[in-house]
Structure 1
């Protein structure tokens, strides 16, 4: 009716009550929801619930993830890591995923966790919370593709060694092959959104199919005698560390945490997904639950069929998964399974590259990268994708893979992926518990009365695991630089740098997410309760590619209830 107040987008808005995006009536529901969060629509919404899940599941990549992290799971605690260790850990991981899904429904932006931390921590602590969340999340994103592509390269070279026993791959060959795979992924990641969505949809179908085939093939074609190990073996601990059995099992959670960390990709694609306030959280939950179940099935099969764990971990092939397949399967069958794993690994690396570029773009849009932000926040006018962000991440990933020449130091990029991801995942959950509590305004998908308990469990689990994941496998006189766990340095040093940067300089100009959309003020903002730590941006001139800042005309404070 005439005179009725304008409709309010059905999401948690950072705009004060009475303030609304301009031209709201002309927007779709997704555009209005994003506008209420302070951003104009930049990408085409060509991801559906299925294709969003496809990217998320591809980033998780169960088969290649389990294959590339065998050393950090069964190689630490034996079969127990694959059976009851997996079951115990994924209970907590699903809690983290559910809490994240609730945030994604309330605030569906590509900034994701970083944005949520800023909004909920308020003007005083929001910038620092966003800063920690954003950098930690970018660290996991930028290490995702290089770690997966390194594993893919290692499996390809292991297959070559199986075919030609006289061939032993060296470090340079591993590095160059990893470099080549990363360049291919960067090229694909620079394509238009629809092409990327279709590529990842096909990749996910291949991933699911190969996973199902492998689950059937391994027990059916195993040539060991007996074919299956007794329950005492499959559910028992074989401690390959210098720590007590309980600590060894907790250390083996590294493989599980790294494997089960891809579900946040859906959050970062929410600005390219239709009906994102519903589709995004569902995609997160579907990915976490389906990954937990199918991952457990594959791990149980490994636990019941592996015969000599020490031989698998210490194999000259340099890739435990390949050594395991050769140990239990006829060579042609083992090579076929290895080939399927390689294909899945390639698809997974591509999904990681796409997700990382969206995170990089979102943070650059809010000037998190300082002087590098301007080129990184540009959307290519031809592909409508953040091409500069894609290639920036690829370059960082290639440099990280120089750790190959440090021997066991390459394992640090897997540990970084585990630690950095769950620091980023749980920081906004912790902020929600401390600063917001029951005042949190949920989106259409929410946990209801289970929201607080689920958040407490999630934060407690991560706080327990953070120091454990930094433990080396040996201690005392056995500990040498070659056997040191360098995670605390490779992750801790950059994080220490960005924290110091914030307090020395960045706090002067970084105030958290910045709105970039014109909006109409309906009331005096001085009377509105809420946050004022999220600032709008001035509109610069548009040069070359599309600049996401264009359109911000007014300087004002914004708020979130």
Structure 2
């Protein structure tokens, strides 16, 4: 007869928060960092959305925009890390908002987070499809480079990620650990190859001062264009909330989740800047690089093919494509855990289905949910004219960025309201929580307003060449979905949704109570 093992500190803390240990707690602190680092994936967002920044502001957006966004994102990450330490649960943002503000705050935070998670998965895997399609053509598998080929590869990648996620958490941890080192090594190879092997290098003055005025709205000039281009870096810095969503599978979660968030932002900021500068220095002809007829809407591939020999450009494409496949896989993992936790508390139609675990302790149905709706979100890329397919991708990045950052901001706002009443975890900001949180919130408001604007000047009604196919559908998507969620709340959910549901009747003896609003 085997004696029952006493609960670990992680299990006791989870019980205080109201949940029993259902997911497999098999992840180390490095694995927790690795999944966030993999989802941020500078080789994904930094390269696949590079054209957004280059077309809006030009090289100065790369040289100055990346460090600006990195610093501002660090303020957001610091505020989130304190919350992750206090409340280490898979619900993450949604749970924090519910605990600090009540059911209505948790409801809207959860839905913004879920929308953002689906959108970022869609954008990541579509970007991966762009690079994978290029690689397949390079190695002799001629499938074309048009949007139909890219969309079919996108669908295949989503299916692959769903299957791999269903296998189990041990595989997820191993893949993400490998991915973290792949990203670090991949960036080093990119920098070395482009730094030594590129046929031409721009001057430092050119990289840090050359501009592209594509402000679209007819005012603001380069300055406004530069601001629109910040979407490139800001989109890349999404998904680090994965460290919080994997809390229930991480050892010493109240410390490791917070460190995972902060370390992800810092490492990504430094390595990403080296990567972006290496690519920008390798540009041979800016006008040709920005010409859709030559770059098919994705300038990085054009830059690599024109700066390097076929062997080296092909090698870098393979490195980037594999990194992006790692990234999309990790995004499905994180999003499915968030959906599992949200459904566990009855917030999603069919909650019993999405919160069900397989024999391997994986929310397989939640994995399928995320994968399916990520596919649906990019269908517009096949409905608009072929030339506007990159616009649809840019809109998906906007939906992801705005949805996720609003979800990040709500619990930060509520933590500010609680002030000294907030019960901190082992990782805390001390008295710095007030200025850190204030700066984070101001930045979130700024980018949420900025990124609803069209990237294509034909998407503005006052343009003589206005067309609905060039409109940024991010605000339409967000307003439509959030409007439906708001109507659902006031018509029905407010009468039955009470926030997180305890699956542990009583916290462990002598455990301190968790302060609520």
Q: TM-score, normalised by structure 2?
A: 0.92
Displacement of 1:300 after TM fit? 2.0
- Cα-to-partner distance string for 1:285-333 (whole Å, 9 max, x where unaligned): 1001111111111122233232333322322444221011112222221
- Cα-to-partner distance string for 1:144-189 (whole Å, 9 max, x where unaligned): 2221111111122234556789974333322221111111100111
CA distance in structure 2 between the partners assigned to 1:437 and 1:181 by the alignment: 45
- Asked if the contact 2:423/2:515 (under 8 Å) is kept, the reply is no
- Asked if the contact 1:144/1:353 (under 8 Å) is kept, the reply is no
Q: How many residues align?
A: 497
State the match for 1:367 in structure 2. Answer: 346
Displacement of 1:492 after TM fit? 2.0
CA distance in structure 2 between the partners assigned to 1:68 and 1:78 by the alignment: 16
CA distance in structure 1 between the partners assigned to 2:259 and 2:392 by the alignment: 37
Pick closer, same or farther for the CA change 1:369–1:211 going to 2, 3 Å: same
Displacement of 1:25 after TM fit? 10
CA distance in structure 2 between the partners assigned to 1:200 and 1:49 by the alignment: 12
CA distance in structure 2 between the partners assigned to 1:346 and 1:362 by the alignment: 25
CA distance in structure 1 between the partners assigned to 2:407 and 2:325 by the alignment: 25
Aligned match for 1:463, one of 428, 434, 445: 445
**For 1:65-464, what aligned pairs fall within 5 Å after superposition?**
65-121=45-101, 126-160=102-136, 168-224=144-200, 227-243=201-217, 244=220, 245-313=222-290, 314=292, 315-370=294-349, 372-380=350-358, 382-405=359-382, 406=384, 407=389, 408-434=391-417, 436-464=418-446
Aligned match for 2:41, one of 61, 66, 69: 61
Displacement of 1:459 after TM fit? 0.2
* CA RMSD across the alignment: 2.2
Pick closer, same or farther for the CA change 1:379–1:167 going to 2, 3 Å: closer
Displacement of 1:82 after TM fit? 0.8
Displacement of 1:237 after TM fit? 2.6
SS in structure 2 at match of 1:83:
helix
Pick closer, same or farther for the CA change 1:167–1:318 going to 2, 3 Å: farther
- Give structure 2 stretches of 5+ with no counterpart: none
Q: TM-score, normalised by structure 1?
A: 0.85
Aligned match for 1:510, one of 483, 491, 497: 497
Displacement of 1:236 after TM fit? 3.5
Larger Rg: 1
- Cα-to-partner distance string for 1:75-105 (whole Å, 9 max, x where unaligned): 2110111111111121110000010000000
- Asked if the contact 2:59/2:210 (under 8 Å) is kept, the reply is yes
Worse-superposed segment, 68-77 or 279-288: 68-77
- Give structure 1 stretches of 5+ with no counterpart: 1-23, 531-557
- Asked if the contact 1:102/1:443 (under 8 Å) is kept, the reply is yes
State the match for 2:454 in structure 1. Answer: 472
Matched, 1:486 2:462: no
Displacement of 1:377 after TM fit? 0.6
SS in structure 2 at match of 1:82:
helix
Pick closer, same or farther for the CA change 1:520–1:449 going to 2, 3 Å: closer
